[in-house]
């Protein structure tokens, strides 16, 4: 059982890790990111809500949905410092450009972005942008953004728990293996957010898609580099965001 002080510490740590909001000093003397992983979906809700406010402001200024969607995404990128986008680019560069496990990990450590990474970022941004623009209505966009950022982070504790770190000295290895209660709490928060935003039927579809995507990413990462890293977790988050927003767009168009 986590004490109230522990809950606040976990929230501060998760928010400071997932965003650029400086709450790290409130996380205590011995921050435990694995335990605090249950709060990552809550940090995602903050990111999604901020993007939703940006979309509403752009919409209120009579900007078209295409432009408002770009502004919303840009605000979320600023708030997170492109944390997960960086992971996606590094992962795709490493998996696509390295001939051996060691070379793949070396590429993933490199701060420079290659052709594979650039293309992955373009596809990720284009899919999220077009999905939000097609939803258009501010309330629906807000629900979709919040649900996407919550659910995409809700699957990370389970991924960290089930897939071993690929290297001993990386961020994921230092964070450790989330306890079962943190993994379950994160998943429950994600399901609740999806249910509120998308309804029961679409939520079931999203859960299936997220599970399949996470399983594929786990298989791919294990095959490519022997496990997961912080970059791989970022890539998993990005895939999750895209899937949720695509389903939300389908729901908004009446096809789900």
pLDDT in tens, the chain (256 residues): 566 667 888 899 999 999 999 886 666 666 788 899 999 999 999 999 999 999 999 999 999 999 999 999 999 999 999 999 999 999 999 999 888 999 999 999 988 999 999 999 999 999 999 999 999 999 999 999 999 999 999 999 999 999 999 987 767 777 789 999 999 999 999 999 999 999 999 999 999 999 999 999 999 999 999 999 999 999 999 999 999 999 999 999 885 5
Is 33 a domain residue?
no
Is 97 a domain residue?
yes
Q: How many domains does the chain have?
A: 1
Token pair listed for 129: 């942008």
Adjacent-strand bridge partners of 165: 228
Is 27 a domain residue?
no
Is 18 a domain residue?
no
Is 30 a domain residue?
no
Domain that holds residue 70: 48-252
What is the rounded distance in angstroms from the CA atom of residue 3 to the CA atom of residue 5?
5
Is 214 a domain residue?
yes
pTM for the whole structure: 0.94
What is the rounded distance in angstroms from the CA atom of residue 57 to the CA atom of residue 73?
13
DSSP 62: T
Is 15 a domain residue?
no
Is 35 a domain residue?
no
**Alpha helical stretches, state H, the chain:** 4-18, 33-36, 40-60, 65-80, 83-97, 101-109, 115-135, 138-154, 156-162, 171-175, 180-198, 200-225, 230-252
């Amino acid at each position: 059982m986590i004490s109230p002080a522990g809950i606040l510490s976990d929230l501060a740590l998760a928010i400071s890790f997932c965003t650029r909001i400086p709450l790290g000093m409130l996380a205590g003397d011995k921050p435990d990111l694995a335990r605090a992983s249950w709060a990552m979906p809550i940090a995602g809700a903050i990111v999604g809500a901020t993007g939703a406010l940006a979309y509403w402001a752009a919409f209120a200024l009579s900007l078209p949905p295409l432009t408002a969607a770009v502004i919303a995404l840009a605000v979320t990128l600023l708030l997170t410092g492109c944390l997960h986008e960086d992971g996606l680019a590094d992962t795709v560069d490493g998996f696509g450009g390295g001939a051996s496990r060691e070379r793949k990990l070396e590429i993933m450590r490199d701060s420079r972005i290659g052709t594979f990474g650039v293309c992955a970022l373009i596809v990720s941004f284009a899919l999220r942008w077009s999905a939000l623009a097609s939803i258009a209505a501010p309330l629906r966009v807000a629900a979709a953004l919040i649900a996407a950022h919550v659910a995409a982070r809700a699957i990370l504790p389970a991924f960290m728990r089930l897939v071993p770190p690929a290297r001993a000295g990386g961020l994921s290895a230092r964070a450790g293996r989330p306890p079962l209660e943190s993994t379950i709490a994160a998943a429950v928060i994600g399901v609740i957010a999806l249910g509120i935003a998308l309804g029961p039927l679409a939520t079931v579809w999203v859960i299936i898609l997220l599970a399949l995507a996470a399983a594929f990413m786990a298989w791919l990462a294990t095959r490519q580099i022997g496990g997961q890293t912080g970059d791989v977790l970022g890539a998993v988050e990005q895939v999750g965001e895209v899937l949720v927003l695509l389903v939300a767009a389908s729901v908004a168009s009446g096809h789900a």
